[in-house]
Structure formats: structure tokens, C-alpha cells
Amino acid sequence: MPPKKYRLTKTWLAVPGPPPKYYPLILRQRKAWVLSVDGQWDLCEEVLRRNLCEAQESGDATALANCQRDVGAILFKKGEYQQAKEMYLQSQKIARELGDDDMWVSALHNLGTLYLHQGELNEAGECFEKSRDNARQLNDRQALGEALNNLGIIHTHRGEYDQAMECFRQKLEIAQDLDDLKGETLAWGNVAMINYYRGEMDLVIENLKKQWSLAERIGDKQNMALAAGNLGLVYMELGDYEKSLAHNNRQLEIARSLGDKSGINTSMSNIGLLYYHQGRYDEALECLEQEMAGDREMGDKLSLALAMCNKANIYRDTGRYAEAAENYQKALADIEAINVKHSLCDVLINKAEFDFLAGDHQAAEEANQRVLQLSREINRPDIIFQSEVMEARLLGRSDPAQGAERLKAMLVKQAKDPELARLHYEMFCLTGGGEHKAAALEIYKRLYRKTPKADYRDKIAVLKAK
């Protein structure tokens, strides 16, 4: 067998003279990747924009498109979505002109991910469908698997779990056929996500453990951290706070070992959420402050805005209304500026609850009308439920009987304990009915034994006091 021939990577971009110039394009790309992981996003952008300028000077269209893609990616991380979109579109246009299918599909993936992040599901789906069709035409199974994975995420956001599971199943099958262990690792995580939405908690844990095991086998620490963090969130929901904290700390440890500042911030956010559910508000605030400092350092606008909302929730629940109002307002303005619909729903529903508790019912109604329309548009069943409950509570202020009728109509459609408990609780608050008090108290006690959330504890105390 003849020896394989290896070609050195072209790390320098040559610009014809006289005199000739040489730019270390690929070397700077590698430096930028390290800076990105290290959380130095502003410096990373500076390096990539230098590459972009030199690619423009060189007249090398391929280099220019790649540099536009790279600048778009760091702008996306920083929450500069409009600028990122412009870069991606320019890169896609050049790829089309060059007839470079790989570059074109890469641009479609980036655009689709951006649209998905902003809740523009139709636009995202169109991008991913084009990349799927292109992969089938070229018989590129690797690209097909990636396109199917992306379409599965679209179906998940639409609540189409059977279609999503089929996409992820095909992605998993392709990855296994190609011996693509990293792709298989990601696929197990996505399969677990659908198990979660279906309420198949045993399968969620089983498949996340498969993701962890496979990632550990190939030394993929980022996927190990992802699996650990998701296991932490699952155990949090199951009420096993000890296991939840252990897995979140494992994610934090891996992120620190990698110098991954974004991963560290995510871990601090999840640990803060765990403390919040336990009613350990001071510790939750401490975690959030650490996360927010990291978000500011990196220029991560979306994560910072969501952390502000979480901070506002703590202030709301502890009666610090002036501080809550300030943080909600800032979080809302920042989320609206970057236009991420999924996150905007979370901020609006929490602000509506705050406004209602603070007695500003007009503001609560305005926020609730916005979130109800938006959550229906992007199919957020959890937010739709909360918003419809708020609608009934607002109606019940002027017409308790009508408000109670709304809640009663919702009650017959629900089967899960958390929703049933909340509806009986609100029915009791509106009508004073003893049967609703007893039902709410029984369900909340059962829920608290399984998942000792502070919210359940507090509602039990209110029901016992009345």
C-alpha cells in the first residue's frame, strides 16, 4: 500500500504583489476559537474582523465568505442578531455564486439557527429543508444527518414530538452507520429531550446517561458537560435536589477545566435555579450575580437579560418590589432589543405576575395579552397555560363568577397534578369554595412530598391559613 500523502493546511492567505502580502488567516481563526471558548468575545470579534478586512483586500471570495461566516458566529454569540444575519446572508450569496455546496449549506445552517433562536420557525424550517434536500441530492449522509437533526429541533419547538423523534431517530441511525461517535452523542441528547417532553422521565435519564458515557469514551468534554447539566435539570424537576446539585457541580467542574466561561455561566445559572426552587434565595442571588458578571464580561446579552429576569423573580417572591420592577423593565427592554420570542415569553409572563401582585392590573393585562398572543404564535403550551390562568384571574377581579367559569373550563382539560393544583388554588382564591381548597391542598401536599419546591410549600401555607 503506497504511503498517504498529506498536504499542509494553508494557514496564510497570499495577496499577489508587487510586493506580495501574506495574512495568517487560519492561524487567526484558531486564535479566535480559543478566545471564544475563554469568553473573550470582544477580542475574538476584533481578531475575526481583522481577518475579514484582509480577505476583502485579497479578493479571495472563498476566504471572504468564510470570514463573514466567522464574524457572524461571534456576533450571534453576543446577541447582535441583525448584524449576524447580514454577515450570514453575505456569506450565503458568495457561496451560491461560487457553486460551493458545502459553504452554502453551512450558511443555511447558520441562518436557520439564528431564525430558530428568534422564534422565526417557518424561516428556520425553510433553511433546514433546503439543506436536507441538497444533502439528499448529493447523497451526503453526514450533511443529511445534520439537517434532520435541525428539523427535529424545529418540530420540537412546534410541539410535534412524533415528527421530532423520527428526525432524531434517523440522525442517530446515520451517525451509527457512519461510526460518527460525536454525532451519535448529540443524537442521544436530542432523543432524551423528546422523552422529557413526553414525560418519559426514566428514558430521559437512561438516554442522557448514554450521551454521557459515549462522550466520556471519546473524550468529548463539552458533551459530557451538556449531559451532566441536563441530568441536573431533570433531577431538579423530579425533586431529587441532591442528585441535581451533584450533576450541576459536575458540569461546572468540566467547564472550569476547559476554561469554558460560557459553560461556567450556564452552570451557575442552573445552580441558582435549583436554590430558587428550594427557597434558598440568598444563595440563588449569589449564583446569579456571578453569572451576570460573567455574562457582562463576555458581552452575552441574552443570558444577561434572562439572569435579570430570574433576579427579578427572587425580588418579587421576597417582597422587594422596587428592585423587582427595575430588573423586569431592564430584562424586557434587552430581550425586545434582540428579538428572541421564546425568551420574551418568559419575561412577559413573569412580569405580568409581578404587576398583578403589585396591584397594577392594567400593566398586568397589557403584558398578559402580549404573551398570550406570542406564546400561541410559537406554541409554548407551558406559557399558554399560565397566561390563560392570568386572564381568568384578571377577569375575576370585576366578575368573580366569570373568572371561575374560565378556570373551570380549563380544569376539565388538564390531567397533570401541577396544573390541576394551580387551577383548584385559583378557583378557591376567587370563590372561597371548600372543595377547591381541599383539592388544591391534597395535590400540593402530594407534589411537595415528591418535589419540595418553595412554591408548593408557600401555597400549602396559604391554603392552611385560610
Residue 21: what are its φ and ψ, rounded to 5°? -120, 150
Point out which residues pair with 15 in neighbouring strands.
Answer: 21
pLDDT in tens, the chain (466 residues): 344 443 334 556 665 655 556 678 888 999 999 998 888 989 999 999 999 998 998 888 999 999 999 999 999 888 888 899 999 999 999 999 999 988 898 889 999 999 888 778 889 999 999 999 999 998 999 999 999 999 999 998 888 899 999 999 999 999 999 999 999 999 999 999 999 988 899 999 999 999 999 999 999 998 999 999 999 999 999 999 999 999 999 999 999 998 888 899 999 999 999 999 999 999 999 999 999 999 998 888 889 999 999 999 999 999 999 999 999 999 999 999 888 888 999 999 999 999 999 999 999 999 999 999 999 988 888 999 999 999 999 999 999 999 999 999 999 988 899 999 999 999 999 999 899 999 999 999 999 999 999 999 999 999 999 7
Q: Is 398 exposed, middle or buried (0-12, 13-18, 19+ CB in 10 A)?
A: exposed
Count of residues in the chain:
466
Read off the pTM.
0.85
Please give the distance of CA 395 from its chain centroid, rounded to a whole number. 33
Point out which residues pair with 14 in neighbouring strands.
Answer: 22
Residue 82 burial (CB count, 10 A): 11
Domain ranges of the chain: 398-466
CA distances from 466 to 425, 431, 434, 438, 443 (A): 12, 13, 10, 11, 17
CA distance 363 to 350: 12
Q: And the C-alpha cell for 121?
A: 420557525
Point out which residues pair with 22 in neighbouring strands.
Answer: 14
Of the candidates 271, 277, 275, 265, the one whose C-alpha atom is nearest the C-alpha of residue 305 is 265
**DSSP annotation of 416:** S
CA distance 349 to 316: 13
